[in-house]
């Protein structure tokens, strides 16, 4: 059996084309297998919509209970293990508790004694990541990647006082600049999910609640984060979190060039058992302030969200205007890769990543086009 930690939309599409086999190029599969594939494929699409992820994304239940189309693994979750939905007294739920956890996590990563590659946008999540590492690391251990100069303008003082004094680089291929075969990969992607987002921005930015579901109204302001939907968002949080937490940061590795990822280097700062337990404590205590990150979303609700991270930034910078006044710094697909701006298929290098870190690409794809890759 082959298990994966990441599966791209292109890999899923390849399976559809492979089974259709219009030109009789590949071995034929029986109709029963094809029927079951189509059924599981459609069930996964339903689940993706439910958990507010794009149809070309994938799900991975860190509880190991629910299966979807591909065999998935939690090998990258800091050595595997399950975090249960229960209150952890030793973790707490105050801003000071999260501060301690973030610094502990950053220090543990720093002791890997490798270069740490940080994806920086100038938003509060990536700013908190940089501040945590600056506190515990020598400056020459850090490498900052930015997609163009937007991050500099998002928080000029951070650039002048900190980023500008570190090893930093601008790139037009944010999803391909890291080398997790050699260096630690550390973005801040999981923060929205843990600390109050109503769902993935690209799915929810024009969404309105419709009973126990949501409907997208293109071009309209979202209302899913409105106060009258607090209980609805509370009821959705655990399901979304357990099925998407393991997948969040792989979107910034879609075009890396290495043939094998050292999964020990996959270390997003908020991808941590104790930080996840902290978020569960928040949820049990109903402390989340729900927000939508869309450009037309209510700005005050966004500013009231993720207060634990805002407090962390203020503690280190004393910059009240930024910590409590910065809105969403939305990174679009076009910002992440220049290939997205062309009217052509992107042809990113990474089709999937197995649980031993092997990168599935166009050279070895056919090695993974067999039933051992699927739950069927």
pLDDT of 269: 98
In a domain, 55, yes or no: no
pLDDT of 345: 73
pLDDT of 341: 75
- Structure confidence by residue, pLDDT tens digits, 124-137: 999 999 999 999 99
pLDDT of 331: 65
Range of the domain at 132: 84-358
Total domains, the chain: 1
In a domain, 212, yes or no: yes
- Structure confidence by residue, pLDDT tens digits, 321-350: 999 999 988 666 666 677 777 776 778 999
Interaxial angle between packed helices 124-136 and 307-317, expressed in degrees from 0 to 180 and rounded to the nearest 10: 50
In a domain, 169, yes or no: yes
115 pLDDT exceeds 80?
A: yes
Task: Give the mean pLDDT of 92-101.
Answer: 98
Mean of pLDDT over the chain:
95
Under 8 Å CB-to-CB from 30, ≥6 apart: which residues? none
Q: Model confidence at 34, in pLDDT bands (50, 70, 90)? A: very high
In a domain, 221, yes or no: yes
The CATH number of whichever domain residue 316 belongs to comes to 3.40.50
In a domain, 38, yes or no: no
In a domain, 165, yes or no: yes
In a domain, 24, yes or no: no
Sign, CA torsion 234/235/238/239: negative
In a domain, 122, yes or no: yes
- Structure confidence by residue, pLDDT tens digits, 39-90: 999 999 999 999 999 999 999 999 999 999 999 999 999 644 578 999 999 9
Under DSSP, the state recorded for 374 is B
């Amino acid at each position: 059996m082959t298990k994966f930690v990441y599966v791209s939309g292109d890999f899923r599409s390849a399976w559809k084309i492979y089974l259709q086999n219009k030109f009789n190029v590949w071995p034929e599969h029986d109709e029963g297998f094809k029927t079951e594939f189509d059924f599981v494929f459609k069930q996964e699409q339903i689940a993706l919509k439910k958990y507010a992820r794009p149809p070309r994304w994938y799900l991975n239940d860190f509880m190991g209970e629910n299966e979807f189309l591909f065999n998935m693994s939690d090998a990258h979750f800091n050595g595997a293990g399950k975090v249960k939905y229960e209150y952890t007294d030793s973790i707490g739920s105050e801003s000071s508790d999260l501060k301690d956890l973030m610094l502990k996590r950053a220090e543990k990563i720093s002791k890997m004694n490798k270069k740490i590659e940080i994806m920086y946008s100038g938003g509060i999540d990536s700013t908190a990541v940089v501040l945590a590492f600056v506190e515990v690391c020598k400056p020459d251990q850090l490498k900052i990647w930015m997609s163009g100069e937007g991050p500099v303008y998002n928080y000029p003082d951070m650039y002048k006082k900190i980023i500008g004094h570190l090893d930093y680089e601008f790139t037009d291929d944010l999803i391909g600049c890291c080398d997790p075969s050699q260096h630690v990969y550390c973005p801040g992607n999981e923060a929205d999910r843990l600390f109050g987002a109503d769902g993935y921005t690209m799915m929810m930015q024009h969404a309105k609640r419709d009973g126990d579901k949501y409907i997208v109204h293109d071009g309209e302001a979202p209302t899913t984060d409105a106060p009258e939907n607090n209980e609805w968002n509370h009821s959705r949080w655990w399901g979304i979190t357990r099925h998407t937490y393991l997948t969040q940061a792989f979107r910034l590795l879609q075009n890396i060039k290495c043939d094998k990822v050292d999964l020990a280097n996959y270390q997003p700062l908020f991808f941590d058992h104790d930080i996840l337990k902290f978020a569960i404590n928040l949820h049990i205590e109903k402390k989340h302030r729900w927000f939508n990150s869309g450009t037309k979303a209510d700005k005050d609700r966004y500013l009231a969200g993720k207060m634990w991270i805002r407090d962390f930034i203020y503690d280190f910078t004393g910059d009240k205007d930024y910590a409590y006044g910065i809105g969403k710094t939305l990174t679009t697909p076009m910002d992440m890769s220049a290939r997205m701006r062309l009217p052509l298929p992107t042809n990113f290098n990474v089709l999937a990543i197995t649980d031993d870190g092997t990168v599935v690409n166009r050279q070895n794809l056919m090695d993974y086009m067999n039933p051992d890759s699927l739950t069927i």
